[in-house]
Amino acid sequence: MVKRLFIALHVPTDVISYIEAAQQQVKQELRAERWQPLHNLHLTLHFLGDVDEQKIPELKKDIQIVSSIIRPFSLSIDHFGSFPKGGKPRVLWLGLQGNIESLQQMHLLLGKRLDRHESLPYDKRPYEPHVTIARKPKLHQELSLPLADWSHRFLPHPKPSWKVEGITLFQSELRPEGAIHTPLFTSLLGETTNL
């Protein structure tokens, strides 16, 4: 059986509340084909796509190996951004600040582990850490998103920070009412048990 999988970091409740307030402000300035439901907010490390469920034990092992190398670190919400950069935006997101070096290292190490699997269809585009808040945003009048202005107006200080303490393998089920993300496995950072 095939499952749609991705590897990501949890976003804690207090940060989700902050993001919700920012999302509500932005909703007054633009429409979007779909707003990201708050219960689905996460920070993707690698989108794997459709994977044979027999590979899940190997993926868990890969996640455990990487999580044993990386120590807990801090991140915080920083600014608005969009994909693609320049041109008509398809995704509106929130960028991060904090220990981005550890986050990049985590992404790189996971990628090296994933490369060992034959026929694993994971996304290999350059990594831009972000939390998606809307898809296919449409401004009422302007041609481009006023990202710097929104960052200043809608992301008040103090911006919440959180400690990243684990890596999670998620299953994503596509349904008519939107995707449902279910955590399948979490490995805590800095732990070498069960290796």
Q: What is the pTM of this model?
A: 0.92
Question: Domain span at residue 89?
Answer: 2-188
| Residue 194 is assigned to a structural domain of this protein | no
| Residue 182 is assigned to a structural domain of this protein | yes
CATH number where 172 lies: 3.90.1140.10
Cα angle 21, 24, 28; round to 5: 145
Say how many domains are in the chain.
1
Render pLDDT for 142-190 as a digit per residue (tens, 0 to 9): 557 889 999 999 998 899 999 999 999 999 999 887 889 999 999 999 9
Task: Note if the bond before 126 is cis, omega within 30 degrees.
Answer: no
| Residue 103 is assigned to a structural domain of this protein | yes
| Residue 195 is assigned to a structural domain of this protein | no
Contact 23, 137 (CB under 8 A): no
Give strand pairing partners of 112: none
Token digits of residue 106: 């985590």
Res. 20 pLDDT band, cuts 50 70 90: very high
Render pLDDT for 26-66 as a digit per residue (tens, 0 to 9): 999 889 999 999 999 999 999 999 999 999 999 999 999 99
Enumerate the active-site residues. Answer: 42, 130
| Residue 184 is assigned to a structural domain of this protein | yes
| Residue 27 is assigned to a structural domain of this protein | yes
Is the pLDDT score of 140 beyond 90? Answer: no
* Residue bearing tokens 């992301």: 155
DSSP one-letter code for 16: H
